[in-house]
Structure 1
Amino acid sequence: MYQHLIYHIQDGVCTITLNRPEVYNALNTALIQEITQAFEAVHTDESVRVVVLTGSGENAFCAGADLKSGMSNATSLGDSLRKNYNPMILAIHNLPKPVICRLNGTAVGAGCSLALACDIIIAADNAKMSQIFVSIGLIMDAGSSFFLPKLVGSQKAFELCSTGRVVEAQECFELGLVNSVVPKDELDSAVLKMAKQYANSATMAIGLIKKVLNQSSFSNLEEMLELEAIHQDLAGQTKDFEEGVTAFLQKRKPVFKGF
């Protein structure tokens, strides 16, 4: 079904692995479109309750745009973003399920944007991130102008984008770019632990949490209070809410089904 990524589902966890290790999982048009298609498939698959996004190989999550795939000043980069990159980022950001980035190595340019589009980033201690666009005379894209200021503030975002400097894993954690940093040989276990937690959680509630938090930057307090009320109504109609209350009263751990 997919030529440039690996799509695997087990126990409610869908793992999407970028699979172009020979070019450090660089993004060409085919891979970008496959990522979008994979997240669209996840959206409608009720068996999937959490997504793990990662790259194949040991040292690279994603090297950004594949510059050998025909990029030039004769190409409309804006049209390429609108047609390919933007739908990919929106498919991840708007997915009503948690997305964990397993940051197994370097993420630069659009690869960094791809990681930042995820809800949780667990990084190996050899991971690095860079807004490298400026090194070839471009601006940040694929959502970095949206995600970075929210995570690190406008001044630090400007520094990272205008210098394109490489940020090592520990600094990524200190800046708030990633949620945690673990030894490289512990990355799989750390990601699996988090994925299992989400796979056994109240999936619809998490999707609603994601939707409401995504709206917070564009709304005032009154609007957010109303948005909370609307979506709390939706959460209150789920079987998981019923199970959560029952389990609380019975003093046991809830068994959520994700609906």
Structure 2
Amino acid sequence: MEPVLIERREAVATVTINRPERRNSLNAEVKVALRDALAGVAADPAVRAVVLTGAGEHFCAGQDLKEHADALAAGGAESAFATVAEHYAPIVRCLATMPKPVVAAVEGNCVGAGLGFALACDLRVIASDAVLATAFSSIGLTCDSGLAHTLPRAVGESRARRLVLLAETFTAAQAVEWGVDADVSDPGVSLLAATRLAERLAAGPTAAYAESKRLLAESWTRSLEETLAAESAGQTRAGSTHDHAGAVQAFLSKDGPVFVGR
């Protein structure tokens, strides 16, 4: 089987981690394919929104520990953990920064790097019976896949410390209660709900979405004055698009806007 599937339907690309027999755990083949698939849809101008999901009953159970144990035995920690910089970091960076919205459709296990991937997406639909966890401490490790960045921003630093240090599992309802932005779906329909959400986003002003994603991400390291200057520049770029001009005319004509992404 292909380790990662890409399905393009009109302006929405669905990227599926395709290792259902192992709960979509991440071996080298899957990680390389996922990294490259996401880079491809990010660069494709015909794709205006992306859905990330897992095949079968699970989203992603994190690193394949059998492969990891073999890598430790063969080359030691430095060799085994090269995957963090080579695979996990580029995957998360692409999800978080691609100039189009990304929606995660989460079923079943969403653990370790899988949780990092879900939190790196812009929006999430999580099945009510999904099981989420950081998991790293349970095998003597610390965070990767951006969790040290995304988790405290989602649930607060105090809660993030508890989830990382104790590695306790939690539910979709708890995640939302603690601050993770997500729609909670019935089991088995998260992909349908996420696809509908992505279709809605794909019909929107995707050039403006790209500006907004950049402004929000960079605001954490900027002063207020720097953010105000960045907003001014971003607003000028967004205001120069066909989408903005068309939306203004549609408003004046009492019509609905039609966005084309430029």
Hey, what's the Cα distance between the residues in 1 that align with 2:21 and 2:111? 16
- 1:1-259 residue pairs with structure 2 within 5 A? 3-58=2-57, 60-69=58-67, 70-72=70-72, 74-76=76-78, 77-259=80-262
Distance 1:84 1:192, change over 3 A: closer
Hey, what's the Cα distance between the residues in 1 that align with 2:174 and 2:139? 24
Q: State the AA in 1 paired with 2:60.
A: C
What is the CA-CA distance between 1:231 and the residue it aligns to? Answer: 0.6
Q: Secondary structure at the match of 1:123?
A: strand
What is the CA-CA distance between 1:84 and the residue it aligns to? Answer: 1.6
Is the deviation greater in 96-105 or in 78-87?
A: 78-87
What is the CA-CA distance between 1:3 and the residue it aligns to? Answer: 2.3
- Structure 2 unaligned spans of 5+: none
Q: State the AA in 2 paired with 1:62.
A: C
Q: TM-score, normalised by structure 1?
A: 0.95
Is the deviation greater in 167-176 or in 184-193?
A: 184-193
Hey, what's the Cα distance between the residues in 1 that align with 2:189 and 2:25? 25
Distance 1:13 1:99, change over 3 A: same
- Structure 1 unaligned spans of 5+: none
Q: TM-score, normalised by structure 2?
A: 0.94
Hey, what's the Cα distance between the residues in 2 that align with 1:101 and 1:239? 29
Q: Secondary structure at the match of 1:142?
A: coil
Is the deviation greater in 147-156 or in 63-72?
A: 63-72
Hey, what's the Cα distance between the residues in 2 that align with 1:177 and 1:135? 22
Could you list the runs of 4 or more consecutive aligned residues of structure 1 that deviate by over 3 angstroms after TM superposition? none
Structure 1, residues 97-150: CA drift from partner, whole Å, max 9, x if none? 000000122111111111111110111111121010101100111100000111
Hey, what's the Cα distance between the residues in 1 that align with 2:191 and 2:163? 28
- Let me know the Cα RMSD of the aligned residues: 1.4
Q: How many residues of Structure 1 are paired with residues of Structure 2 in the alignment? A: 257
Q: Secondary structure at the match of 1:174?
A: helix
Indicate if the aligned counterparts of 2:107 and 2:188 stay in contact, CA closer than 8 A: no
What is the CA-CA distance between 1:72 and the residue it aligns to? Answer: 2.4
Indicate if the aligned counterparts of 1:12 and 1:48 stay in contact, CA closer than 8 A: yes
Indicate if the aligned counterparts of 1:64 and 1:111 stay in contact, CA closer than 8 A: yes
Is the deviation greater in 87-96 or in 172-181?
A: 172-181
Q: Secondary structure at the match of 1:102?
A: strand
Distance 1:159 1:187, change over 3 A: same
Distance 1:188 1:83, change over 3 A: closer
Distance 1:8 1:21, change over 3 A: same
